[in-house]
Homo-oligomer: A and B are copies of this chain.
Amino acid sequence: MISVDEARDRILAALRPLPAETVGLSAGWNRVTAAPVAARLTQPPADVSAMDGYALRAADGGLGATLRVIGAAPAGHPFGGRVGAGETVRLFTGSVVPEGADAILLQEDATRDGDRVSVNEAVVAGRHIRRAGQDFSAGDIVVPAGRRLTARDIGLAAAANHPWLVVHRRARIAILATGDEISLPGEPIPPGGIVSSNSHALAALVRALGGEPVVLPVARDDEATIAATADQIHGMDMLVTTGGASVGDHDLVIKALRARGMTLDFWQIAMRPGKPLLFGQLGATPVLGLPGNPVSALVCAILFLLPAMARLGGLPAAAPPSMPAILGAALKANDHRADHLRATVSSDSQGRLVATPFPVQDSAMLRRLALADALILRAPHAPALPEGAEIRVIRLDSLGL
Protein backbone atom coordinates (compact mmCIF):
# COMPACT_ATOMS: atom_id res chain seq x y z
CA MET A 1 0.00 0.00 0.00
CA ILE A 2 1.19 3.52 -0.71
CA SER A 3 0.38 6.73 1.12
CA VAL A 4 -2.18 9.34 0.16
CA ASP A 5 0.59 11.86 -0.43
CA GLU A 6 2.54 9.53 -2.68
CA ALA A 7 -0.54 8.67 -4.74
CA ARG A 8 -1.37 12.35 -5.15
CA ASP A 9 2.20 13.23 -6.07
CA ARG A 10 2.23 10.53 -8.74
CA ILE A 11 -1.07 11.76 -10.20
CA LEU A 12 0.03 15.40 -10.20
CA ALA A 13 3.38 14.53 -11.78
CA ALA A 14 1.52 13.04 -14.74
CA LEU A 15 -0.62 16.11 -15.40
CA ARG A 16 0.08 19.42 -17.13
CA PRO A 17 -1.96 22.63 -17.06
CA LEU A 18 -4.47 22.86 -19.89
CA PRO A 19 -3.71 25.38 -22.65
CA ALA A 20 -5.14 28.89 -22.71
CA GLU A 21 -8.20 30.38 -24.33
CA THR A 22 -9.44 33.97 -24.63
CA VAL A 23 -12.75 34.75 -22.98
CA GLY A 24 -14.72 37.95 -22.62
CA LEU A 25 -14.26 39.80 -19.35
CA SER A 26 -17.83 38.93 -18.39
CA ALA A 27 -17.06 35.22 -18.71
CA GLY A 28 -13.91 35.43 -16.65
CA TRP A 29 -15.33 34.98 -13.17
CA ASN A 30 -13.96 31.88 -11.40
CA ARG A 31 -11.63 31.06 -14.31
CA VAL A 32 -7.86 30.82 -13.74
CA THR A 33 -5.61 33.34 -15.51
CA ALA A 34 -3.10 31.82 -17.91
CA ALA A 35 -1.26 35.12 -18.36
CA PRO A 36 -0.74 38.09 -16.08
CA VAL A 37 -3.06 41.06 -16.52
CA ALA A 38 -0.99 44.23 -16.91
CA ALA A 39 -2.69 47.60 -16.51
CA ARG A 40 -3.23 49.34 -19.85
CA LEU A 41 -3.64 52.71 -18.21
CA THR A 42 -2.84 54.60 -15.06
CA GLN A 43 -5.51 54.92 -12.39
CA PRO A 44 -6.34 57.60 -11.57
CA PRO A 45 -5.01 58.89 -14.90
CA ALA A 46 -4.30 62.33 -13.39
CA ASP A 47 -4.46 63.93 -9.95
CA VAL A 48 -8.14 63.89 -8.96
CA SER A 49 -10.21 65.20 -6.11
CA ALA A 50 -11.13 62.75 -3.38
CA MET A 51 -14.08 64.91 -2.29
CA ASP A 52 -16.74 67.29 -3.53
CA GLY A 53 -15.45 70.87 -3.26
CA TYR A 54 -13.36 73.51 -5.02
CA ALA A 55 -9.89 73.43 -6.58
CA LEU A 56 -7.63 76.36 -5.78
CA ARG A 57 -4.05 77.37 -5.09
CA ALA A 58 -3.16 76.50 -1.51
CA ALA A 59 -1.74 80.01 -1.11
CA ASP A 60 -5.23 81.42 -1.75
CA GLY A 61 -7.04 79.16 0.72
CA GLY A 62 -6.50 80.83 4.06
CA LEU A 63 -9.39 81.13 6.52
CA GLY A 64 -11.76 83.90 5.44
CA ALA A 65 -10.41 84.26 1.91
CA THR A 66 -12.83 84.71 -0.99
CA LEU A 67 -12.33 83.27 -4.47
CA ARG A 68 -13.95 83.67 -7.84
CA VAL A 69 -15.52 80.53 -9.38
CA ILE A 70 -14.31 80.37 -12.99
CA GLY A 71 -15.82 77.01 -13.93
CA ALA A 72 -16.88 73.54 -12.92
CA ALA A 73 -15.48 70.09 -13.66
CA PRO A 74 -18.10 67.42 -13.11
CA ALA A 75 -16.65 63.89 -13.34
CA GLY A 76 -16.07 63.19 -17.02
CA HIS A 77 -15.94 66.86 -17.97
CA PRO A 78 -12.50 68.18 -17.01
CA PHE A 79 -12.01 71.93 -16.79
CA GLY A 80 -9.89 72.98 -19.74
CA GLY A 81 -8.38 76.15 -18.33
CA ARG A 82 -5.93 77.02 -15.61
CA VAL A 83 -6.63 78.13 -12.06
CA GLY A 84 -4.91 81.45 -11.38
CA ALA A 85 -4.51 83.60 -8.30
CA GLY A 86 -7.82 84.17 -6.48
CA GLU A 87 -9.62 81.72 -8.75
CA THR A 88 -11.32 78.43 -8.06
CA VAL A 89 -13.11 75.64 -9.96
CA ARG A 90 -16.02 73.57 -8.66
CA LEU A 91 -15.03 69.88 -8.41
CA PHE A 92 -16.67 66.59 -7.49
CA THR A 93 -15.26 63.32 -6.25
CA GLY A 94 -13.15 61.94 -9.07
CA SER A 95 -12.87 65.22 -10.97
CA VAL A 96 -9.44 65.97 -12.46
CA VAL A 97 -7.71 68.72 -10.48
CA PRO A 98 -7.20 71.55 -13.00
CA GLU A 99 -3.82 72.94 -13.91
CA GLY A 100 -2.59 75.57 -11.47
CA ALA A 101 -4.53 74.21 -8.50
CA ASP A 102 -2.79 72.30 -5.70
CA ALA A 103 -5.44 72.23 -2.96
CA ILE A 104 -9.08 71.27 -2.39
CA LEU A 105 -11.55 73.31 -0.38
CA LEU A 106 -14.19 70.87 0.87
CA GLN A 107 -17.79 71.67 0.00
CA GLU A 108 -18.74 71.63 3.67
CA ASP A 109 -15.97 74.16 4.44
CA ALA A 110 -17.12 76.60 1.75
CA THR A 111 -19.88 79.21 1.46
CA ARG A 112 -21.00 79.86 -2.07
CA ASP A 113 -22.65 83.07 -3.17
CA GLY A 114 -23.10 83.39 -6.92
CA ASP A 115 -19.63 83.13 -8.47
CA ARG A 116 -17.95 83.78 -5.12
CA VAL A 117 -16.80 81.19 -2.61
CA SER A 118 -15.48 82.00 0.85
CA VAL A 119 -13.18 79.74 2.85
CA ASN A 120 -14.43 78.61 6.27
CA GLU A 121 -11.55 76.24 7.00
CA ALA A 122 -8.01 76.85 5.73
CA VAL A 123 -6.90 74.36 3.04
CA VAL A 124 -3.75 72.24 3.15
CA ALA A 125 -1.77 71.77 -0.07
CA GLY A 126 -2.24 68.28 -1.50
CA ARG A 127 -4.87 67.14 0.99
CA HIS A 128 -7.91 65.39 -0.55
CA ILE A 129 -6.04 64.96 -3.84
CA ARG A 130 -5.56 61.42 -5.12
CA ARG A 131 -2.33 61.33 -7.07
CA ALA A 132 -2.15 59.91 -10.59
CA GLY A 133 -1.35 56.20 -10.34
CA GLN A 134 -2.35 55.86 -6.70
CA ASP A 135 -4.28 52.68 -7.53
CA PHE A 136 -2.05 51.40 -10.36
CA SER A 137 0.14 52.61 -13.21
CA ALA A 138 0.21 51.49 -16.82
CA GLY A 139 2.26 48.29 -17.03
CA ASP A 140 1.65 47.20 -13.44
CA ILE A 141 0.63 43.55 -13.12
CA VAL A 142 -2.74 43.90 -11.42
CA VAL A 143 -3.70 40.21 -11.61
CA PRO A 144 -0.98 37.55 -11.73
CA ALA A 145 -1.13 34.42 -13.86
CA GLY A 146 -2.50 31.36 -12.10
CA ARG A 147 -5.13 33.18 -10.06
CA ARG A 148 -8.74 32.08 -9.82
CA LEU A 149 -10.60 35.28 -10.67
CA THR A 150 -12.90 36.77 -8.05
CA ALA A 151 -15.58 39.37 -8.73
CA ARG A 152 -13.12 41.96 -7.41
CA ASP A 153 -10.45 40.78 -9.87
CA ILE A 154 -12.95 41.17 -12.71
CA GLY A 155 -13.53 44.75 -11.57
CA LEU A 156 -9.80 45.38 -11.40
CA ALA A 157 -9.17 43.89 -14.85
CA ALA A 158 -11.98 46.10 -16.19
CA ALA A 159 -10.51 49.17 -14.55
CA ALA A 160 -7.17 48.24 -16.12
CA ASN A 161 -8.98 48.36 -19.50
CA HIS A 162 -9.10 44.68 -20.42
CA PRO A 163 -12.18 43.58 -22.38
CA TRP A 164 -10.69 40.09 -22.78
CA LEU A 165 -8.88 37.71 -20.49
CA VAL A 166 -6.54 34.82 -21.19
CA VAL A 167 -7.48 31.88 -18.99
CA HIS A 168 -6.81 28.18 -18.80
CA ARG A 169 -9.41 26.03 -20.54
CA ARG A 170 -11.94 24.34 -18.36
CA ALA A 171 -11.14 20.69 -17.73
CA ARG A 172 -13.62 18.39 -19.48
CA ILE A 173 -14.02 15.38 -17.24
CA ALA A 174 -15.74 12.25 -18.50
CA ILE A 175 -17.43 10.29 -15.71
CA LEU A 176 -18.13 6.58 -16.04
CA ALA A 177 -20.07 4.64 -13.43
CA THR A 178 -19.98 0.89 -13.81
CA GLY A 179 -21.95 -1.88 -12.25
CA ASP A 180 -24.79 -4.33 -12.88
CA GLU A 181 -26.46 -3.25 -9.67
CA ILE A 182 -26.93 0.45 -10.39
CA SER A 183 -29.80 2.40 -11.91
CA LEU A 184 -30.07 6.12 -12.47
CA PRO A 185 -32.55 7.95 -10.23
CA GLY A 186 -36.14 7.45 -11.35
CA GLU A 187 -35.34 4.42 -13.49
CA PRO A 188 -36.49 0.88 -12.69
CA ILE A 189 -34.35 -0.71 -9.98
CA PRO A 190 -33.52 -4.38 -10.44
CA PRO A 191 -33.77 -6.73 -7.43
CA GLY A 192 -30.81 -6.09 -5.13
CA GLY A 193 -29.94 -2.99 -7.12
CA ILE A 194 -29.18 0.48 -5.88
CA VAL A 195 -29.67 3.93 -7.32
CA SER A 196 -26.46 5.31 -8.75
CA SER A 197 -25.41 8.47 -6.97
CA ASN A 198 -21.78 8.63 -8.01
CA SER A 199 -22.10 9.98 -11.55
CA HIS A 200 -24.12 13.01 -10.63
CA ALA A 201 -22.36 13.70 -7.34
CA LEU A 202 -19.06 13.65 -9.22
CA ALA A 203 -20.50 15.79 -12.01
CA ALA A 204 -21.55 18.37 -9.41
CA LEU A 205 -18.09 18.16 -7.86
CA VAL A 206 -16.49 18.78 -11.26
CA ARG A 207 -18.71 21.86 -11.63
CA ALA A 208 -17.80 23.02 -8.13
CA LEU A 209 -14.15 22.75 -9.16
CA GLY A 210 -14.70 24.82 -12.28
CA GLY A 211 -14.70 21.97 -14.81
CA GLU A 212 -17.17 20.62 -17.34
CA PRO A 213 -18.53 17.16 -16.55
CA VAL A 214 -19.54 14.74 -19.29
CA VAL A 215 -21.55 11.91 -17.74
CA LEU A 216 -21.16 8.76 -19.81
CA PRO A 217 -23.97 6.17 -19.87
CA VAL A 218 -23.65 3.62 -17.06
CA ALA A 219 -21.56 0.65 -18.17
CA ARG A 220 -22.74 -2.79 -17.10
CA ASP A 221 -20.19 -5.19 -15.64
CA ASP A 222 -19.18 -6.41 -19.04
CA GLU A 223 -15.69 -6.13 -20.44
CA ALA A 224 -16.76 -5.22 -23.97
CA THR A 225 -19.07 -2.43 -22.80
CA ILE A 226 -16.42 -0.90 -20.60
CA ALA A 227 -13.80 -1.24 -23.30
CA ALA A 228 -16.08 0.59 -25.73
CA THR A 229 -15.85 3.70 -23.58
CA ALA A 230 -12.21 3.90 -24.56
CA ASP A 231 -13.44 4.99 -27.97
CA GLN A 232 -15.63 7.71 -26.49
CA ILE A 233 -13.16 9.82 -24.59
CA HIS A 234 -11.45 11.72 -27.37
CA GLY A 235 -11.26 15.38 -26.35
CA MET A 236 -11.74 14.63 -22.67
CA ASP A 237 -9.07 15.90 -20.31
CA MET A 238 -9.62 13.04 -17.89
CA LEU A 239 -11.71 9.91 -17.51
CA VAL A 240 -12.99 9.27 -14.00
CA THR A 241 -14.47 5.85 -13.32
CA THR A 242 -16.24 4.58 -10.24
CA GLY A 243 -16.57 1.00 -9.19
CA GLY A 244 -15.12 -2.06 -10.81
CA ALA A 245 -11.73 -1.36 -9.34
CA SER A 246 -11.74 -3.58 -6.29
CA VAL A 247 -9.46 -6.51 -5.67
CA GLY A 248 -12.46 -8.80 -5.85
CA ASP A 249 -13.63 -10.82 -8.80
CA HIS A 250 -14.95 -7.73 -10.56
CA ASP A 251 -11.99 -5.59 -11.48
CA LEU A 252 -13.40 -5.31 -14.97
CA VAL A 253 -12.50 -1.68 -15.53
CA ILE A 254 -8.83 -2.48 -15.32
CA LYS A 255 -9.04 -5.56 -17.50
CA ALA A 256 -11.16 -3.84 -20.10
CA LEU A 257 -9.18 -0.62 -20.40
CA ARG A 258 -5.86 -2.42 -20.25
CA ALA A 259 -6.94 -4.45 -23.22
CA ARG A 260 -7.34 -1.08 -24.99
CA GLY A 261 -3.80 -0.07 -24.15
CA MET A 262 -4.18 1.74 -20.87
CA THR A 263 -0.90 2.03 -19.01
CA LEU A 264 -1.68 1.48 -15.40
CA ASP A 265 -0.75 2.46 -11.91
CA PHE A 266 -3.04 0.58 -9.61
CA TRP A 267 -2.69 1.19 -5.94
CA GLN A 268 -3.93 0.04 -2.66
CA ILE A 269 -3.80 3.30 -0.75
CA ALA A 270 -3.39 3.24 3.00
CA MET A 271 -6.49 5.35 3.59
CA ARG A 272 -10.05 5.22 4.83
CA PRO A 273 -12.65 5.60 3.39
CA GLY A 274 -11.33 4.38 0.07
CA LYS A 275 -8.39 2.11 -0.54
CA PRO A 276 -8.28 0.91 -4.14
CA LEU A 277 -7.42 3.66 -6.60
CA LEU A 278 -6.57 3.31 -10.24
CA PHE A 279 -4.50 5.83 -12.16
CA GLY A 280 -3.38 5.36 -15.69
CA GLN A 281 -3.16 6.78 -19.15
CA LEU A 282 -5.41 5.75 -22.01
CA GLY A 283 -3.89 7.31 -25.11
CA ALA A 284 -3.78 11.02 -24.36
CA THR A 285 -6.32 10.80 -21.54
CA PRO A 286 -5.43 10.32 -17.89
CA VAL A 287 -7.73 7.84 -16.12
CA LEU A 288 -8.63 8.09 -12.45
CA GLY A 289 -10.49 5.09 -11.07
CA LEU A 290 -12.40 5.77 -7.85
CA PRO A 291 -14.04 3.26 -5.54
CA GLY A 292 -17.70 2.40 -6.17
CA ASN A 293 -18.83 3.15 -2.64
CA PRO A 294 -20.37 6.64 -2.77
CA VAL A 295 -18.71 7.96 0.39
CA SER A 296 -15.34 6.55 -0.64
CA ALA A 297 -15.78 7.90 -4.17
CA LEU A 298 -16.50 11.42 -2.95
CA VAL A 299 -13.74 11.48 -0.34
CA CYS A 300 -11.24 10.11 -2.87
CA ALA A 301 -12.45 12.71 -5.38
CA ILE A 302 -11.77 15.46 -2.85
CA LEU A 303 -8.33 14.03 -2.09
CA PHE A 304 -7.25 13.25 -5.66
CA LEU A 305 -9.61 14.73 -8.27
CA LEU A 306 -9.63 18.18 -6.65
CA PRO A 307 -5.84 18.57 -6.82
CA ALA A 308 -5.78 16.96 -10.28
CA MET A 309 -8.34 19.44 -11.60
CA ALA A 310 -6.53 22.32 -9.92
CA ARG A 311 -3.35 21.23 -11.70
CA LEU A 312 -5.12 20.87 -15.06
CA GLY A 313 -6.74 24.25 -14.47
CA GLY A 314 -3.46 26.10 -13.99
CA LEU A 315 -3.29 26.23 -10.20
CA PRO A 316 -0.28 24.97 -8.23
CA ALA A 317 0.18 21.22 -7.76
CA ALA A 318 -0.76 20.83 -4.10
CA ALA A 319 -2.83 18.93 -1.58
CA PRO A 320 -6.44 20.05 -1.07
CA PRO A 321 -6.51 23.17 1.10
CA SER A 322 -6.55 22.26 4.78
CA MET A 323 -6.52 24.42 7.87
CA PRO A 324 -5.83 24.10 11.57
CA ALA A 325 -8.70 23.37 13.94
CA ILE A 326 -9.37 22.22 17.46
CA LEU A 327 -10.69 18.73 18.09
CA GLY A 328 -14.23 18.77 19.54
CA ALA A 329 -14.20 15.20 20.88
CA ALA A 330 -11.47 12.76 21.90
CA LEU A 331 -10.17 10.36 19.25
CA LYS A 332 -8.71 6.89 19.58
CA ALA A 333 -5.31 6.12 18.10
CA ASN A 334 -5.42 5.52 14.36
CA ASP A 335 -4.31 2.34 12.62
CA HIS A 336 -2.01 2.15 9.60
CA ARG A 337 -4.49 3.82 7.23
CA ALA A 338 -4.81 7.62 6.89
CA ASP A 339 -8.34 8.48 7.98
CA HIS A 340 -10.69 11.27 6.91
CA LEU A 341 -13.30 11.65 9.61
CA ARG A 342 -16.58 13.31 8.74
CA ALA A 343 -17.07 16.21 11.16
CA THR A 344 -19.15 19.26 11.92
CA VAL A 345 -17.45 22.59 12.62
CA SER A 346 -18.15 25.52 14.91
CA SER A 347 -16.18 28.41 16.40
CA ASP A 348 -15.13 28.61 20.03
CA SER A 349 -15.14 31.80 22.11
CA GLN A 350 -11.56 32.54 21.05
CA GLY A 351 -12.41 32.38 17.38
CA ARG A 352 -10.80 29.01 16.82
CA LEU A 353 -12.36 26.53 14.45
CA VAL A 354 -13.62 23.46 16.32
CA ALA A 355 -14.16 20.21 14.39
CA THR A 356 -16.20 17.45 16.01
CA PRO A 357 -16.23 14.02 14.32
CA PHE A 358 -19.45 12.06 14.00
CA PRO A 359 -19.30 9.13 16.45
CA VAL A 360 -19.99 6.58 13.68
CA GLN A 361 -17.87 6.80 10.53
CA ASP A 362 -19.25 3.95 8.39
CA SER A 363 -18.32 4.53 4.76
CA ALA A 364 -21.82 3.48 3.68
CA MET A 365 -23.40 6.54 5.29
CA LEU A 366 -23.80 9.07 2.51
CA ARG A 367 -26.29 11.12 4.49
CA ARG A 368 -23.73 11.73 7.18
CA LEU A 369 -21.14 12.78 4.60
CA ALA A 370 -23.66 15.29 3.23
CA LEU A 371 -24.15 16.69 6.74
CA ALA A 372 -20.42 17.06 7.35
CA ASP A 373 -18.74 20.47 7.24
CA ALA A 374 -15.22 19.12 7.17
CA LEU A 375 -12.96 16.09 6.97
CA ILE A 376 -10.58 15.68 9.90
CA LEU A 377 -7.20 14.46 8.64
CA ARG A 378 -5.72 11.58 10.64
CA ALA A 379 -2.24 10.40 9.67
CA PRO A 380 -1.39 6.69 9.74
CA HIS A 381 -0.59 5.59 13.30
CA ALA A 382 -1.65 8.99 14.68
CA PRO A 383 -1.82 8.76 18.50
CA ALA A 384 -5.00 9.07 20.53
CA LEU A 385 -5.97 12.73 20.96
CA PRO A 386 -7.91 14.46 23.71
CA GLU A 387 -10.69 16.95 23.10
CA GLY A 388 -9.04 20.32 22.42
CA ALA A 389 -6.04 18.90 20.56
CA GLU A 390 -4.77 20.66 17.43
CA ILE A 391 -5.71 18.96 14.19
CA ARG A 392 -6.05 19.82 10.51
CA VAL A 393 -9.24 19.71 8.49
CA ILE A 394 -10.38 20.02 4.89
CA ARG A 395 -13.47 22.22 4.89
CA LEU A 396 -16.28 21.06 2.67
CA ASP A 397 -18.94 23.63 3.45
CA SER A 398 -17.43 26.63 1.74
CA LEU A 399 -16.36 24.94 -1.48
CA GLY A 400 -19.75 23.64 -2.62
CA LEU A 401 -18.25 20.16 -2.51
Which residues of A line the B interface, CB within 8 A?
Answer: 25-26, 28-30, 41, 43-46, 50, 52, 73-78, 92-96, 130, 134-136, 140, 142-143, 148-164, 179-182, 184-187, 189-205, 207-208, 215, 221, 246, 248-250, 292-294, 298, 323-326, 347, 350-353, 362, 364-370, 372, 390, 396-401
Most interface-central of A292, A367, A400 (chain B CB within 10 A): A367
B45 touches A180 (CB 8 A): no
Q: How far is the CB of A262 from chain B (nearest CB, A)?
A: 23
A364 touches B294 (CB 8 A): no
Contact of A370 among B153, B163, B195, B293 (CB under 8 A): B153
A201 touches B155 (CB 8 A): yes
How many copies, total? 2
Beyond known contacts A29-B207, A398-B398: 4 more, CB 8 A cutoff: A92-B248, A151-B202, A152-B401, A162-B185
List of B residues within 8 angstroms of A30 by Cβ: 207-208, 400
Closest residue of chain B to A369 (Cβ to Cβ) is: B152
B204 touches A28 (CB 8 A): yes
A185 touches B201 (CB 8 A): no
A195 touches B142 (CB 8 A): no
Q: Interface on chain A toward B: helix, strand, loop, or mixed SS?
A: loop
Q: How far is the CB of A161 from chain B (nearest CB, A)?
A: 5
Bound CA span A362–B293, Å: 53
B324 touches A294 (CB 8 A): no
B298 touches A152 (CB 8 A): yes
Q: How far is the CB of A349 from chain B (nearest CB, A)?
A: 8
Asked if A401 meets B249 with Cβ closer than 8 Å, knowing A76-B193, A200-B25, the reply is: no
Most interface-central of A26, A195, A246, A293 (chain B CB within 10 A): A195
Bound CA span A396–B29, Å: 14
